[in-house]
């Protein structure tokens, strides 16, 4: 059985962004480095997130987070941290900014090539002396604020995680920070969270508490994603979307599956993670269905559908209603790369906890089905 560990302190609710000033004090952070992206700043969400701090003359802000955080970005952000003699990190944004903030903390603690901390390294370097991190999500997707890793695209072309379960001292989850999220990002990030709940539930690892949390998250996300997509100011929907995303990430310890092994491999080429998960989810569920018939029935019940509901089709139709791409070809992905993607998926850690072990040929067939 998996080790049960839910160890992130979380402030959750409308207006909880006001807790930032207290968390900075509790963690003795006097000169924080704020990690965000240009879009969050332009939309005014960054200013909204830090309003409890009042005016901050000379605030140190790194706002060059790329859509998929890279090793180069981690090093550039780390240099900003040291150049300004910062003593803590506040990540504000989507999963990219939050993952970048965590990876910077890893590198600030003890300088070494980032790859040496990666969970794909033969002997990952232990993390020491990392500065305190506070995370404030502005999307309901990755759940990185409570996830145990920072997912980075390394210079060797691999997209993988850095296990850093103790660097985050507090997560501040305020659904108000997601109100300005555009409909398409609401949809893509929301389907990312939904895929987390489904894949962790379908993982063969034994962890009943995680299963229960995953199913609660799935219900919240499925029942609210269209409401949030159609009306971004629906506070009830935004609250449930953020809670569902948090629950999906809490369950990561149970493992993921082929949806993520494929999306990590394709994501290393720069494609949006949530969009990839949305496309792959129905296809992976169809492949896995013979091995998880009891879990398919449970999911149908949770979604208030007949026990024999076609769950893969349910999610495919949801993608359609949300205006998400139908297949990989809509993203311009060339099937000529499928053999390389299949090999990368086999090497990904998420592959290990798919309900059954796919072969390279299985992955190529799966990718072609999703084309």
Query: Is residue 43 one of the residues assigned to a domain?
Result: yes
Distances (CA, A) of 57 to 17, 61, 220, 324: 20, 11, 40, 42
Query: Is residue 242 one of the residues assigned to a domain?
Result: yes
Residues 210 and 250: beta-carbon distance below 8 Å: yes
Structure tokens at 80: 């900003």
**Separation CA 85–CA 66 (nearest Å):** 23
The one-character DSSP state at 209 is H
Residue 144 and residue 198 in one domain:
no
* Residue 83 structural domain: 10-178
Residue 167 and residue 207 in one domain:
no
Residue 129 and residue 209 in one domain:
no
Distances (CA, A) of 80 to 66, 223, 276: 16, 42, 32
Nearest to 145 by CA among 117, 166, 174, 173: 173
The one-character DSSP state at 305 is S
Final residue in a domain of this structure, among 136, 153, 178: 178
Q: Given this model, what pLDDT does residue 111 score?
A: 79
**Separation CA 171–CA 92 (nearest Å):** 10
**Separation CA 179–CA 308 (nearest Å):** 36
Residue given tokens 């939309």 in the structure block: 43
**Separation CA 93–CA 37 (nearest Å):** 7
Query: Is residue 2 one of the residues assigned to a domain?
Result: no
Residue 74 and residue 172 in one domain:
yes
Final residue in a domain of this structure, among 122, 144, 178: 178
Residues 152 and 159: beta-carbon distance below 8 Å: yes
Residue 149 and residue 217 in one domain:
no
Query: Is residue 5 one of the residues assigned to a domain?
Result: no
Neighbours of 167 (CB within 10 A): 23
Opening angle at CA 201, ends 219 and 101, nearest 5:
85
Q: Given this model, what pLDDT does residue 112 score?
A: 86
Residue 49 and residue 124 in one domain:
yes
What is the domain-level CATH number for residue 135?
A: 3.40.50.1970
Burial class (CB in 10 A: 0-12, 13-18, 19+), 152: buried
Query: Is residue 4 one of the residues assigned to a domain?
Result: no
Backbone angles phi and psi of 185, in degrees to 5: -75, -30
Residue 169 and residue 202 in one domain:
no
What is the domain-level CATH number for residue 338?
A: 1.20.1090.10
Query: Is residue 1 one of the residues assigned to a domain?
Result: no
Structure tokens at 199: 């894949």
Residue 240 and residue 330 in one domain:
yes
Collect the ranges in the chain with pLDDT lower than 70. 1-5
CB-based contacts of 228-233 (< 8 A; 24+ apart in sequence): 228/140, 228/178, 228/186, 228/190, 229/183, 229/186, 229/187, 229/190, 229/322, 230/183, 232/178, 232/179, 232/180, 232/181, 232/182, 232/183, 232/186, 233/179
Structure tokens at 91: 């990540």
**How would you classify residue 54: left for phi > 0, otherwise alpha for psi between -120 and 50, otherwise beta?**
left
Sequence-ordered list of residues with C-beta below 8 angstroms from that of 203, at least 6 positions apart, any chain: 254, 255, 256, 257, 353, 354, 355
Query: Is residue 350 one of the residues assigned to a domain?
Result: yes
Residue 144 and residue 36 in one domain:
yes
Query: Is residue 3 one of the residues assigned to a domain?
Result: no
Which ranges constitute the DSSP H helices of the chain?
Answer: 20-26, 38-42, 45-49, 71-83, 95-109, 183-202, 208-230, 235-250, 258-267, 273-288, 293-302, 311-321, 338-347, 360-369
Q: Given this model, what pLDDT does residue 5 score?
A: 63
Q: What's the number of domains the chain is made of? A: 2
**Separation CA 11–CA 38 (nearest Å):** 25
Q: Quick: pLDDT tens for 25-47.
A: 999 999 999 999 999 999 999 99
**Separation CA 168–CA 301 (nearest Å):** 35
Residues 27 and 84: beta-carbon distance below 8 Å: no
Final residue in a domain of this structure, among 148, 178, 208: 178
| Residue 299 C-alpha from the chain's centroid | 21
Residue 40 and residue 160 in one domain:
yes
Residue 120 and residue 236 in one domain:
no
Q: Quick: pLDDT tens for 117-160.
A: 999 999 999 999 999 999 999 999 999 999 989 999 999 999 99
At how many degrees (to 10) do helices 293-302 and 311-321 cross?
50
Residue 15 and residue 79 in one domain:
yes
**Separation CA 8–CA 20 (nearest Å):** 15
Q: Quick: pLDDT tens for 236-260.
A: 999 999 999 999 999 988 999 999 9
């Amino acid at each position: 059985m998996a080790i049960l560990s839910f160890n992130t302190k979380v402030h959750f609710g409308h207006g909880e962004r006001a807790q930032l000033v207290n968390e900075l004090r509790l963690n003795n952070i006097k000169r924080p480095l704020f990690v965000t992206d240009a879009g969050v700043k332009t939309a005014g969400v960054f200013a909204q997130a830090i309003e409890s701090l009042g005016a901050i003359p000379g605030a140190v802000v790194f706002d060059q987070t790329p859509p998929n955080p890279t090793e180069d970005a981690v090093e550039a952000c780390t240099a900003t941290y040291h150049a300004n003699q910062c003593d803590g990190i506040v990540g504000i944004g989507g999963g990219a900014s939050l993952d970048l903030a965590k990876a910077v903390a890893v590198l600030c603690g003890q300088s070494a090539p980032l790859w040496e901390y990666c969970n794909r390294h033969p002997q990952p370097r232990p993390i020491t002396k990392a500065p305190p991190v506070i995370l404030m999500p502005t999307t309901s997707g990755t759940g990185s604020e409570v996830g145990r890793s920072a997912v980075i695209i390394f210079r060797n072309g691999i997209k993988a995680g850095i296990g850093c379960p103790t660097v985050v001292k507090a997560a501040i989850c305020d659904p108000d920070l997601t109100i300005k999220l555009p409909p398409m990002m609401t949809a893509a990030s929301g389907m990312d969270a939904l895929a987390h709940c489904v894949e962790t539930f379908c993982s063969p690892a034994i962890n009943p508490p995680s299963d229960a949390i995953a199913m609660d998250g799935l219900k919240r996300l499925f029942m609210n994603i269209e409401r949030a997509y159609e009306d971004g100011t629906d506070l009830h929907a935004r609250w449930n979307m953020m809670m569902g995303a948090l629950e999906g990430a809490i369950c990561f310890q149970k493992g993921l599956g082929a949806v993520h092994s494929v999306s990590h491999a394709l994501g290393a080429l720069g494609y949006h993670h949530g969009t990839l998960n949305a496309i792959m989810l129905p296809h992976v569920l169809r492949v896995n269905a013979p091995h998880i018939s009891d879990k398919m029935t449970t999911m149908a019940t949770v979604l208030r559908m007949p026990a024999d509901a076609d769950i893969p089709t349910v999610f495919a139709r949801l993608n359609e209603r949300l205006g998400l791409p139908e297949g990989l070809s809509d993203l311009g992905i060339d099937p000529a790369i499928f053999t390389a993607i299949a090999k990368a998926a086999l090497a990904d850690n998420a592959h290990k906890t798919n309900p059954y072990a796919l072969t390279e040929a299985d992955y190529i067939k799966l990718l072609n089905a999703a084309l």
